[in-house]
């Protein structure tokens, strides 16, 4: 792509071809303490968001599931137990370090028999058409350079009748909550990142990337434009996160 095309990296505008490398740098830095920081920064609430997502997935024994941008594999761990020996879960992430942490974590727990690990870009998925029953992308879409392309790829590899779920930070529905959330995100989050992970900059970027991510209605329309049907969303924790769900018919 030409150098005069720019995209967001947090609040900065950068040449579009640089974003993938810069995002990789962020996750290379945070990979080893990613799960610990998730627990600290969300006060453990992320676990309930993810449990709700799994409950809404409709996953069942024998399903093929893609845990996209799945990082350390917490969704893969749960889905592996649901789909059983006749199913398959693919843990996919663009970042080799995140994927390595996920593979080590799941291997140590003995969760390998029905799991595959694939390093892949969400914009160019290396899977055949109509392959997966369920696709989940959790807190990953906002880091993708071309979100429309990633959604179109998710639609392509999803089976007819399958469903895609996007769990992502979103826009709080209450003004007071949004004000408190802003103070937390831009003042406390980088500070905690510095203390626990020795990396304030990466967590500052993560806070900024949340603000640049499409709001609930915009993402809903993007999923419709990508071909999904019956698209809807549910706000969680006052809209701090939202779970979008769409089907392929």
Domain assignment of residue 34, yes or no: yes
SS3 159: strand
User: Binding residue per annotation — 96?
Assistant: no
Sheet containing 158-169: which strands, arranged edge to edge? Answer: 115-119, 88-93, 64-68, 132-138, 158-169, 241-247, 229-236
Q: Judge whether 82 and 60 are in contact, CB under 8 Å.
A: yes
Q: For the segment 150-174, what is each residue's pLDDT rounded down to a tens digit? A: 999 999 999 999 999 999 999 999 9
In-domain check, residue 200: no
Question: Is residue 187 in some structural domain?
Answer: no
E strand spans, the chain: 6-9, 12-15, 64-68, 88-93, 115-119, 132-138, 158-169, 229-236, 241-247
Residue 138 included in any domain: yes
Query: Is residue 196 in some structural domain?
Result: no
Residue 12 falls inside a structural domain = yes
For residue range 195-231, what is the model confidence (pLDDT) as tens digits?
888 888 888 988 899 999 999 999 999 999 999 999 9
Q: How far apart are CA 194 and CA 67, in angstroms?
A: 29
Domain, as residue range, for 14: 6-173+205-248
**Residue 122 marked ligand-binding:** yes
Q: What pLDDT digit, counting tens, does each position of 111-155 carry?
A: 999 999 999 999 999 999 999 999 999 999 999 999 999 999 999
Residue 230 resides in a domain:
yes
Is 120 known as a binding-site position?
A: no
Domains identified in the chain, total number? 1
Indicate whether 191 belongs to any domain: no
Are 78 and 54 in contact by the 8 Å Cβ rule? The answer is: yes
pLDDT at position 79 is 98
CATH number of the structural domain spanning residue 230: 3.40.50.150
Assign 53 a pLDDT band (cuts: 50, 70, 90).
very high
């Amino acid at each position: 792509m030409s150098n005069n095309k720019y995209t967001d990296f947090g609040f900065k505008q950068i040449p579009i071809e640089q974003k993938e490398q810069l995002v990789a740098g962020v996750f290379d830095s945070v990979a080893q303490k990613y799960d610990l920081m998730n627990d600290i920064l969300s006060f453990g609430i992320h676990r309930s968001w993810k449990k709700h997502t799994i409950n809404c997935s409709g996953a069942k024994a024998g399903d093929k599931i893609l845990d996209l941008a799945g990082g350390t594999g917490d969704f893969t761990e749960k889905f592996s137990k649901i789909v059983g020996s006749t199913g398959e879960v693919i843990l996919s992430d663009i970042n080799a370090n995140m994927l390595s942490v996920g593979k080590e974590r799941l291997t140590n727990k003995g969760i390998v028999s029905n799991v595959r690990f694939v390093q892949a870009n969400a914009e160019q998925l290396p899977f055949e058409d109509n392959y997966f029953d369920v696709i989940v992308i959790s807190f990953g879409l906002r880091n993708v350079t071309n979100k429309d392309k990633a959604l179109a790829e998710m639609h392509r590899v999803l089976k007819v009748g399958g469903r895609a779920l996007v769990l992502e930070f979103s826009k709080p529905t209450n003004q007071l909550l949004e004000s408190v959330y802003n103070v937390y995100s831009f003042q406390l989050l980088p500070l905690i990142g510095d203390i626990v992970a020795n990396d304030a900059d990466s967590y500052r970027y993560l806070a900024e990337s949340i603000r640049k991510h499409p709001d609930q209605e915009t993402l809903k329309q993007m999923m419709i434009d990508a071909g999904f049907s019956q698209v809807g969303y549910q706000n969680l924790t006052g809209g701090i996160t939202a779970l979008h769900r769409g089907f392929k018919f």
